[in-house]
Amino acid sequence: MQEYRVEYSRNPGNVWESLKTLPPVSKENYNSLYEFSKATSRYHFNETVSDLESLDSDCPAVIPVKHFDANWNQAVSELITQAKPADFGFRKTTRLSGNNVLEENDFRRWGYDIDGGYTIANRILNPNLQEPLQYILDCFGFEKPGIVKFDVQMPGQCFYWHLDAFGGVLKNERGDFEKSSTSDLDQREVMRTIIFLDDQRLGQVWQQGNLSLRWSRGDCITWPWRDIPHGTCNYGHTPRPVLNITGKLTDKTWDFLYGGI
């Protein structure tokens, strides 16, 4: 694994435009969400490969977008107190049964204690954002409604190693993986972006492919969601808050990625 400190030497618009997408596969051949998602990933899944070299490819492990800087400390503190544990029961309410069955199969195969309350983070879905957090959301100009999450990973919580399937984000277009969304054919249509709302503290880990990220307060990243496995954990002593925004790109989004805002 290599360390990577988030930096902004590459234009995110150029990087995002270069992404490729493998065609969808039928879920009927899979009883694992991880293996189902892996079947449409272009990632190498080789722990000996340096993903630092991928940053200039059409399958980068991470894409830094922009560094934001404003005083959101009070707003974040209030959101932390409001966030509720996102255990398996909480998460499955946003998705259809096929996605949940496949994920539950993985959890039980790997030994995650979902009956005992395994929790990825504390979460607020579609929070009421104060400025300047609302400004960050507006910058992306995603097609509404989109999905906004405030996630705070508390000490002792982890988000298991996974690939994004967007079972909740795209369920209205896909059904229960019964058909393909246009975003399954071209992953550039939809983006998930993370804004780190505090500096990295000891014991806080975010891994993208073979890269262990080193971030600072205000760093914003995205990645090819169909391709890059990732996971997070907090074995430190302090909460790790992020803003998690997912949506379909618009002309305003592309302008922002190319540096127009």
Question: 209 burial class (0-12, 13-18, 19+ CB within 10 angstroms)?
Answer: buried
Q: Assess contact for 259 and 169: CB atoms under 8 A.
A: no
β-pairing verdict for 204-208 and 119-125: unpaired
β-bridge pairing 2-5 and 211-214: parallel
Tell me the β-bridge partners of 152: 122, 241
Tokens of 115: 């009956």
Per residue of the chain (261 residues), what is the pLDDT tens digit?
Answer: 899 999 999 999 999 999 999 999 999 999 999 999 999 999 999 999 999 999 999 999 999 999 999 999 999 999 999 999 999 999 889 999 999 999 999 999 999 999 999 999 999 999 999 999 999 999 999 998 789 999 999 999 999 999 999 999 999 999 999 999 999 999 999 999 999 999 999 999 999 999 999 999 999 999 999 999 999 999 999 999 999 999 999 999 999 999 965
CB of 90 within 8 A of CB of 239? no
Radius of gyration of the chain (CA): 17
Instruction: Compute the distance between CA of residue 183 and CA of residue 191 in angstroms, rounded to an integer.
Output: 10
What domains are there in the chain, each with its CATH number? 2-257 (2.60.120.620)
**Which phi and psi angles does 136 have, rounded to 5°?**
-60, -45
> What six digits make up the tokens of 256?
């922002």
The neighbouring-strand residues paired with 63 are 222
What pLDDT score does 205 carry? 98
pTM over 0.95: yes
3-class DSSP state of 196: strand
Which of 159, 91, 150 has the alpha carbon at shortest distance from 125?
150
pLDDT for residue 47 = 96
H or E element at residue 220? strand 219-222
User: Which pLDDT value is given to residue 146?
Assistant: 86
